[in-house]
Amino acid sequence: MKKVARAIPRVDHLKPSPALLSKLGSAIVHAAEGRDARGHAFDWVAFDTLVYSDPDVREWLRMMNDDGLLPIKRNAGMKTGAP
């Protein structure tokens, strides 16, 4: 029996899922707390994990970048959320 390849539906990055919105909101809160004088290293670890390691966030960043909807980085040597 032949396997039939199923098309994977493209996620609409302009209408993110509630789970992705929660991850993006969490990243924003951790970045804000990390900048605060009372912030701590955990905030940056959580931010880095979400932005640089979470596959859903990375895919969303890639799609947004591909559509030209993210700012262009000033320093090419810095980490980027977009793959």
| Tokens linked to 13 | 């990055």
**Displacement of CA 17 from its chain's centroid (Å):** 13
Chain segment 3-33, per-residue pLDDT in tens? 665 555 567 889 999 999 999 999 999 999 9
- Residue 1 clears pLDDT 80, i.e. is over it: no
Q: Check residues 36 and 6 and name the one with the higher pLDDT.
A: 36
Give the pLDDT confidence score for residue 52 in this predicted structure.
Answer: 93
Q: Are 13 and 67 in contact (CB under 8 A)?
A: yes
> Model pTM?
0.73
